[in-house]
Amino acid sequence: MLKIKNLHANIDGKEILNGINLTVNAGEVHAIMGPNGSGKSTLASVIAGKEEFEVTEGEILMENESIIESSPEERAHKGIFLSFQYPVEIPGVSVTNFVKTAINESRKAQGLEEMGAKEMLKLLREKSELLGIDRKFLSRSLNEGFSGGEKKRNEIFQMAMLEPKLAILDETDSGLDIDALRVVANGVNTLRTKDNAVILITHYQRLLEYIVPDFVHVLHNGKIVKSGTKELALELEEKGYDWLKPESVV
């Protein structure tokens, strides 16, 4: 589904991604771990198309089509979803209206009719129940005055509504207490199918107890320095990231 080949990216001339290679197939869950500043969030942003980052080398293919030149919205229309570490507050636009607009813009781009009111309502009800979201919450202004947990839950709610092919969850576990983490993880697990894929970006192993990855990659200095299965995450938890320092990675 997603193929990243030798990806280099920089911001203001500072190289942050330094030759990433990654293949994610439908049905898989990949976890990307690494110390602070290793380039995890940058990788997520570059896949989603953030324009501040300049891709200097390499290729990103989504379903065998290059998306390097695509705008963030075009990538979203192709089925890429990024759950933000710090979701942005949009006063005056309710969660419901925002989600409706997002769904209908994607449908428009795919040449589909706008979703009918009845169908939309059904979907809203279904997905909000899945994530234990109160109906009143949906009429509040997007992220305005939301707690950290509410913001993250709202991100996963948007993901549930948009049904992306590839969901990238950037530090979705940060700022969540254990109950909120369970709800969010349960939501993600319920949404998993053989046709979609998930990339989890996380600093800690904790989230991976709830959303079990098929592959774990360790990012360091903008490069994947180690890949393995879920056991690698446990090893990292035990040893920390120090053993990854250049001298020990040979």
Partner 1 sequence: MDLKEKLVSSFLAFENNVDVEHSVHDIRTEAIKKFEEKGFPSRKEEEWKYTSLNTLQKVDFSIFPKTESDLDYKDVKRYFMHEIDTYKIVFVDGVYSSYLSETTHDGVDVCLMSSALSKPMYKAVIDVYFNKIASKEDSLTNLNTAFSREGAYIYIPKNKTPKKPIEILHFSTGTEAALMSQPRNLIIAEENSELQVIERHQSLTSNEVFTNAVTEIYAGKNAIIDYYKVQNDGLTASLVDNTYIDQKDGSTVDVHTFSFGGKLTRNNLNYYQNGERVNSTLRGVTIIEGKQHVDHHTLVHHIQPNNESYQDYKGIYDENATAVFNGKIIVDQIAQKTNAFQQNNNILLSDKATINTKPQLEIFADDVKCSHGCTIGQLDEEALFYLQSRGIPKKEAKALLMYAFANNVLSTVRIPELKARINKIIAKKLGVNIGFDL
Among 3, 5, 50, 206, binds partner 1 (CB under 8 A): 50
**Least distance (Å) from partner 1 to the CB of residue 127?**
15
Binding to partner 1 by residue 201, rule CB under 8 A?
no
Which of residues 20, 76, 95, 191 is near partner 1 by CB under 8 A?
76
State how far the Cα of 83 lies from the Cα of 78, in Å rounded to an integer: 16
162 is a contact residue toward partner 1 (CB under 8 A): yes
Q: How far is the CB of 140 from partner 1 (least distance, A)?
A: 13
**Residues 17 to 46 in contact with partner 1, rule: CB under 8 A:** 45
Interface stretch with partner 1, choices 16-24, 57-65, 105-113, 117-125 (CB under 8 A): 105-113
Q: Which residue among 13, 92, 145, 240 contacts partner 1 (CB under 8 A)? A: 92
For partner 1, the closer CB: 19 or 72 = 72
Of the candidate residues 15, 57, 105, 150, the single one contacting partner 1 (CB under 8 A): 105
CB-CB contact of 143 with 99 (8 Å): no
Q: Give least dist CB 96 to partner 1, A.
A: 9
Residue closer to partner 1, measured from CB, 157 or 215: 157
Reduced 3-state DSSP string for the chain: CEEEEEEEEEECCEEEEEEEEEEECCCCEEEEECCCCCCHHHHHHHHHCCCCCEEEEEEEEECCEECCCCCHHHHHHCCEEEECCCCCCEEEEEHHHHHHHHHHHHHHHCCCCCCCHHHHHHHHHHHHHHCCCCHHHHHCEECCCCCHHHHHHHHHHHHHHHCCCEEEEECCCCCCCHHHHHHHHHHHHHHCCCCCEEEEEECCCHHHHHCCCCEEEEEECCEEEEEECHHHHHHHHHHCCHHHCCCCCC
87 lies in the site for partner 1, by CB under 8 A? yes
- Output the smallest distance, CB 151 to partner 1, in A: 11
- Residue number with CB closer to partner 1 (11 or 234): 11
Radius of gyration, CA atoms only, the chain: 18
Check residue 237 for interaction with partner 1 (CB under 8 A). no
Residue 200 or 208 having the CB closest to partner 1: 200
49 touches partner 1 (CB under 8 A): yes
Q: State the greatest distance between any 2 C-alpha atoms of the chain, in Å, as a whole number.
A: 60
List contacts with partner 1 (CB under 8 A). 45, 48-52, 71-73, 75-77, 81-82, 84, 86-88, 90-93, 97-98, 100-106, 109, 114, 141, 158, 162
